[in-house]
A and B are shown apart, each in its own frame.
Chain A
Amino acid sequence: MTTWHIILIASAATLALKLSGHLVPAGFLERERPARIADLLTVALLAALIAVQTLGAGQQIVVDARVPALIVAAALYALRVPFVIVVFVAAAVAAGIRAFT
């Protein structure tokens, strides 16, 4: 599998999902339990991606400059600072720590 294969398959899958919402009669996902699971799925996947992106290094768990950067990001989101600025500051914190250690 090349990078292009991955991109094409994943794009086709997400596009098909979007279309199915408009074409398939409402039903299954309108029911309470499937709707709740679909909603929580997004939360779980994003949280897991944060964990892996912050602590993972291949198959190892490493605590490094990414952790303080994420803590700063959380504080800024709590203060309602816009997304783009937070992402930029997080990168700057990690880069700064790496430059001075």
Chain B
Amino acid sequence: MDERAEASAAAAVDAARRGAIRDGFAVGIATAAYGISFGALAVAAGLDVWQTCFLSLVMFTGGSQFALVGVLASGGVAAGGSAIATAAMLGIRNVVYGMRMKPVVDAPHDGHRSSLWRTIAAAWITIDESTAVALAQTDDRAARVGFWVTGIVIFIGWNLTTFLGALIGDALGDTSAYGLDAAAAAAFLGLLWPRLKRVQAGAVAVGAAVVATIATPVLMPGLPVLVAALVAVVVGWFDLFSRKRAA
């Protein structure tokens, strides 16, 4: 490779990396902003400010956090088992993300061997957004940069906004007058919305919503959500409704 080609290749790598950093910040800041709603809803569900912040620090996966708080809001501590199961089942997708991110994080680059601490840190920030930004990049180095930048920006932002939201929720007191129960439903809808691009996902969503509604009067609070998960297992196992929606 002559010098000019080398220089232009290096410039392309730099541009890709800058693009990944930009993506990471854009997605990270947008995502971190809704930590406010999580903080407020968690306090409305009966958690204290510290419990709310602990979830954002340690659990750090929005879907599971909203779910845990949502089930506790409807069923209280008695629904604890269902709350744990729902949060854990929503966390299963992070296993798939981790498998996809492992080669991205492990690739040898600056001479460091992948250490246990780095693996733990990478796992901690393996979520929808960091995975999505990494997968959207075209070269390996940019994917790695995108993953870390997105994850770290969200981690910092999400924890700050959670704390702020929890303080706001705490100050609001009686929350049903402020419509926070409707806000929780809208938050779940926001998490679901980007996943509804296929007919199969739409069918599962409708089926699960119907099952959960029918089961609500007959089962303990918390259980209807778990029973509705069976819809995903049945549809996924037999690959029903798998036709893609016409573009």
Same assembly: yes
Residues of chain A having any CB pair with chain B under 8 Å: 1-7, 9-11, 13-15, 17-23, 26, 29-30, 33, 35-56, 58-61, 65-66, 69-70, 73-74, 77, 82-84, 86-96, 98-99
Given A56-B216, A74-B189, also A47-B208 (CB < 8 A): yes
A48–B63 contact, CB under 8 A? no
The size class of the interface chain B forms with chain A is 35 or more
Given A50-B188, A90-B182, also A45-B36 (CB < 8 A): no
| Contact code string B206-242 (vs A, CB < 8 Å = 1, else 0) | 1111111100111111001100110111011101000
Q: Give the interface SS of chain B, mostly helix, strand, loop or mixed.
A: helix
A-B contact count (CB 8 A): 312
A11–B59 contact, CB under 8 A? yes
Given A6-B72, A44-B205, A51-B213, also A18-B98 (CB < 8 A): yes
B95–A7 contact, CB under 8 A? no
Any A CB within 8 A of the CB of B146: no
Residues of chain B having any CB pair with chain A under 8 Å: 30, 33-34, 36-37, 46-47, 51, 54-55, 58-59, 61, 63-64, 66-68, 70-74, 77, 80-81, 83-84, 86-99, 101-102, 105, 119-120, 122-124, 126, 176-193, 195-196, 200-201, 204-213, 216-221, 224-225, 228-229, 231-233, 235-237, 239
Query: Would you mind naming 20 contact pairs between A and B with Cβ atoms under 8 Å apart?
Result: A3-B47, A10-B59, A21-B101, A21-B102, A29-B99, A37-B232, A37-B237, A39-B96, A40-B235, A41-B90, A42-B93, A44-B204, A50-B189, A59-B219, A70-B185, A93-B179, A94-B181, A95-B177, A95-B179, A99-B177
A15 CA / B2 CA spacing, docked (Å): 48
Known: A17-B92, A22-B126, A46-B63. 9 other contacts (CB 8 A): A3-B46, A17-B95, A36-B236, A51-B213, A52-B212, A69-B185, A73-B186, A93-B182, A94-B183
A19–B98 contact, CB under 8 A? yes
A48–B74 contact, CB under 8 A? no
User: Which residues of A lie under 8 Å from residue B90 when comparing CB positions?
Assistant: 41-42, 45-46
